[in-house]
Structure 1
């Protein structure tokens, strides 16, 4: 019912997933960055010595630095340390108590800790838009593109990208700045984005622009 230890795997390459169906380009004046669920609890399943998560965190740091340099707003999601059973609802059936059983692991990982300039959104379900102000904040900032990184690719990252698309916000998932339970799950998420709702990029492709 809980998450099992996640084994390291090699990050996907561009040839591992199909070309996007759209030719959307990231516009620095229209984009925002979402760092998704990078809390100690979720990252601890990879283990302290995981090469995968170390590379992903390094890439997210690089991605965030590029966004800050280009005045692109940065948002985080974080599940609350405590949720009552009714509020957690069906997540109890799927994942058990989850983070609420380990409230001491609720912080964003130290390497990616938000600054006073960033906004942390409370996360209630897979999608970052559910019961949050994310859509309204993006509209206020006149941002209709969302760059997404973090964990887990085939769950919250993918659901957030799908809801962005359905709300008229173009999602861009950064292939080597997300992590998942396995390479198979990771590739599923990237393939789904490219085929149905957005564009997949790699961090170096973006920060060179």
Structure 2
């Protein structure tokens, strides 16, 4: 799917106070979790839908400085990265947003330091500057960045929608339980098509 260029700039207008978060869709993650191109179609449709409705698209990735000063050896998820890391240039390339969901020049890329999109990032400053009060969540993995971001965003009183088919997890049952039983307690859970159709209804 070809990206749709927005008619206006990234800053939302008065009607649109929501933003679409594309989370952890960087090369290293996509190559690990995505088995075929069809799995990426919901992400691409969500991005194009947001752009066509002048809804800001914000990309979130995890990345670290040279030497990994942000990583604690006590952290089970990130602690082993310095030992596994290859050449700096290779690591930097792996942390870039995957070509299948490339941002436009005016779409921000937020760099975080832990699982949640808010952890060590300037995401909240951007959201506050744009007066965003509603977040549309998508990304990899459902049990990782999506879950952690949803919990933190809910505690910060954002209204939330999770795009169930624009989330991927290594464990299909974990994905099902989260999207069907856990997420609905704090968010609306919709398919990309359902979300896209709702935007046309409210125009």
Coarse TM-score class (shorter-chain normalised): 0.7 to 0.9
* Equivalent residue for 2:182, pick from 183, 186, 192: 192
Distance (whole Å) between structure 2 residues aligned to residue 88 and residue 189 of structure 1: 28
CA apart distance, 1:136: 2.1
Question: Cα RMSD between the aligned structures?
Answer: 2.2
For the 8 Å contact 1:154–1:180, the answer to whether it is kept is: yes
Check whether the contact 1:81–1:100 (CA below 8 A) recurs between aligned residues: no
Does 2:56 align with 1:73? yes
Report the equivalent of 2:4.
none
Cα 1:167–1:97 change in 2 (3 A) is same
Structure 2 residues not aligned, in runs of 5+: 1-13, 199-203
With over 3 angstroms needed to count, the CA separation of the structure-2 counterparts of 1:203 and 1:160, relative to structure 1, is: same
TM-score (ref. length: structure 1): 0.77
Secondary structure in structure 1 of the residue aligned to 2:77: helix
Which of 24, 27, 32 is residue 40 of structure 1 equivalent to? 27
Pick one of 166, 176, 185 that aligns with 1:177: 166
Q: Judge which range, 109-118 or 134-143, deviates more.
A: 134-143
- Residue of structure 2 in register with 1:120 after alignment: 109
CA contact (8 A) 2:46 2:192 kept: yes
**Contact 1:150–1:178 under 8 Å retained in 2:** yes
Secondary structure of the corresponding residue to residue 137 of structure 2: strand
Are residue 62 (structure 1) and residue 51 (structure 2) matched?
A: no
Alignment partners' CA distance in 1, 2:120 and 2:167: 23
Q: Which residue of 118, 121, 124 maps to 1:135?
A: 124
Q: 1:97 aligns with which of 65, 81, 86?
A: 81
| Structure 1 unaligned regions, length at least 5 | 1-26
1:85 deviation in Å?
4.2
Q: Distance in 2 between matches of 1:173 and 1:91?
A: 31
Larger RCO, structures 1/2 (Cα 8 Å, 6+ apart): 1
Give me the whole-angstrom Cα distance separating, in 2, the residues matched to 1:40 and 1:57.
13
Q: Deviation digits for residues 66-103 of structure 1, max 9, x if unmatched?
A: 11111111101112264534412257533521885450
Aligned pairs, number = 178
4+ residue runs over 6 A deviation: none
